[in-house]
Amino acid sequence: MSWKWKLPASLAIGAAIVASGCDFFVPGEPDEAHLFDVPMEGLTTAQMRMFAAGDEEFEHQFSFSEGLGPIFNARSCNSCHPGEGPGHPEFSFVRFGRVDANGIFDAMLNEGGPQLQDRAIPGYEPEVLPSGDDIVWTRMVAPSVTGLGLLEAVDDATLIALADPDDEDGDGISGRINWIPADPQLDAIAAQANGARIQQHDGYYIGRFGLKASAISLLDQTVSAYHQDMGITSDYATLDPINYQVGDGTADLVPDPELSSGTLMAVNHYLRVLRPPARRNADDPEVLKGEAIFEEINCTACHVPTLKTGKSTIEPLSAVEFHAYTDLLMHDMGPELDDGYIEGTADSNEWRTAPLWGFGIAKDFQGGRPFYLHDGRASTLEEALEFHGGEAAASREKFRALSKTELRQLRAFMESL
């Protein structure tokens, strides 16, 4: 439910009539800086109409009769992204695979991989994590979904320029792109990017969404979420997920595709134009000093403060600078964050640089306690930094050497994001 954004007058009348009888049940408006489900300014009336439609569908709880499952993790987008913010470890999901004696990773597509669907509709069995010494798995907490349109609108050329896979500049940072092999499904998704420019490079696409940068676009990510998380088929993922572990190759009884093209595109548009989290106290002297420390200990080598979008058919996304504190590249995070799971060309110790916008208010969406990193294992800035090994190890050592005053200032900066 959105609090601050305004519908065009023609749409707002009905909403006002409905809301007038429910004022007793509606809490006071939260502070605007703590809102995630707000559209960007400057959208056209048609774009706002589609935003409203996508907002409603994002919260829609699927039922068995609508095609939920037969195996699934959640019933709605909002289940994993409450208030469009980051999720809670209690509602995390598991991805798994097998590594053979030669170190070759198998996503176990014919045995239920790569995602474990731990719920099922009546008459079906949910999946369980396979046993065996060769099984590897990781637990993932859903990130927030705001500002994604800006990340999608960054030109491929910008990311290619940021990448330094062989560390040619010798700074110890070797971010690289997760190159995703083209296939007919991805080609179809790229062709329907709805204004986003998804380019193929010698048979590969650039992955930029997901914790390991495995999705090439917001539409790719949205299709996957509906299919893998909810068991909802679409024009791009046409077969129900089934539980191979019990030999059950039977899909549910709802005709496919279960999601209309209009609904899919409305949700995709909604995600594209969600406003990024607003900064708080950005001009506070303590925050400014903390920002300088953030740069001095070289966090900005991966958490690049400023990116710029290319041209877009949506005006608020076109040729604008924004501050997400990410390079959208994969980095070696060392053994501390290596849990064995491989995704595409992303090794088990590699993770995409997480955008830091919204860092300071993550706890507001997670029950009052923040859960940082891909699996929510850290609940403080200090804990999160201690798990930064690999390319980030040098910055971690500089962090450990900070005085109490410098640590307070750095924390103030992070809380402002």
CATH of the domain at 292: 1.10.760
Residue 276 to residue 32: CA distance in whole angstroms: 12
* Residue 26 falls inside a structural domain: no
What confidence score (pLDDT) does residue 195 get? 64
Last residue of a domain, one of 273, 306, 330: 273
pLDDT on residue 23: 33
Residues 243 and 299 reside in one and the same domain: no
Selection from 92, 99, 88 nearest residue 339 by Cα: 99
Q: What angle do CA 322, 324, 329 make, to 5 degrees?
A: 115
More confidently predicted of 411 and 249: 411
Residues 262 and 289 in one domain: no
pLDDT of residue 139: 96
Q: Token digits for 355?
A: 């955008």
The mean pLDDT value of the chain amounts to: 90
pTM of the predicted model over 0.85: yes
Give the pLDDT score at 101: 87
* In-domain check, residue 74: yes
Which of these, 209, 216, 194, 229, lies nearest to 145 by C-alpha position?
Answer: 209
Q: At 213, which amino acid appears?
A: A
Residue 194: predicted pLDDT: 64
State how far the Cα of 107 lies from the Cα of 246, in Å rounded to an integer: 18
Please report, rounded to a whole number, the percentage of residues in the chain having pLDDT higher than 90.
82
For residues 274-294, give the mean pLDDT: 96
Beta strands in 70-144 (DSSP E): 71-72, 93-99, 105-106, 119-120, 135-140
Residue at a domain's end among 273, 296, 327: 273
Q: Looking at residues 148-154, what average pLDDT do you find?
A: 97
Q: 322: domain range?
A: 285-416
Average pLDDT over residues 184-201: 86
Task: Tell me if 160 is assigned to some domain.
Answer: no
Per-residue pLDDT, 32: 56
Of 276, 84, 314, which is closest to residue 194 (Cα–Cα)? 314
**Residue 12 predicted with pLDDT over 60:** no
Tell whether 53 is covered by a domain.
yes
SS3 state at 156: helix
Per-residue pLDDT reduced to its tens digit, 312-335: 999 999 999 999 999 999 999 999
Residues 255 and 127 reside in one and the same domain: yes
What's the confidence (pLDDT) of residue 28?
38
Is the pLDDT confidence value at 35 over 50? yes
Cα gap 242→239, rounded to integer Å:
9
pLDDT band at 238 (very low <50, low <70, confident <90, very high): very high
Percent of the chain clearing pLDDT 70 (strictly above): 90
Would you say residue 9 lies in a domain? no
**Residue 7 in this model has a pLDDT that exceeds 60:** no
**Could you report the per-residue pLDDT of 102-146, keeping only the tens digit for each?**
889 999 998 899 999 999 999 999 999 999 999 999 999 999 999
pLDDT at 262: 97
**What is the number of structural domains in the chain?**
2
Averaged pLDDT for residues 325-347: 96
* 238 within some domain: yes
Stretch among 26-35, 59-68, 228-237, 373-382 having the lowest mean pLDDT: 26-35
Please write the tens of the pLDDT for every residue from 36-82. Answer: 789 999 999 999 999 999 999 999 999 999 999 999 999 999 999 99
What does the pLDDT average to over 187-208?
88
Please report the pLDDT score of residue 15 as a whole number: 37
Would you state the pLDDT for residue 5? 41
114, 231: one domain: yes
267 in the same domain as 290: no
What integer is the mean pLDDT of 31-36?
Answer: 61
* Residue 323 within any structural domain of the chain: yes
Quick one: 258 and 398 in the same domain? no
Q: Are residues 296 and 375 in the same domain?
A: yes
Residue 246: predicted pLDDT = 85
Looking at the structure, do residues 142 and 289 belong to the same domain, yes or no? no
Asked if residue 61 is part of any domain, the answer here is yes
Question: 297 and 261, same structural domain?
Answer: no
| Whether 290 and 251 share a structural domain | no
216 lies in the same domain as 318? no
Same domain, yes or no: 248 and 334: no
pLDDT of 280? 93
Last residue of a domain, one of 253, 273, 293: 273
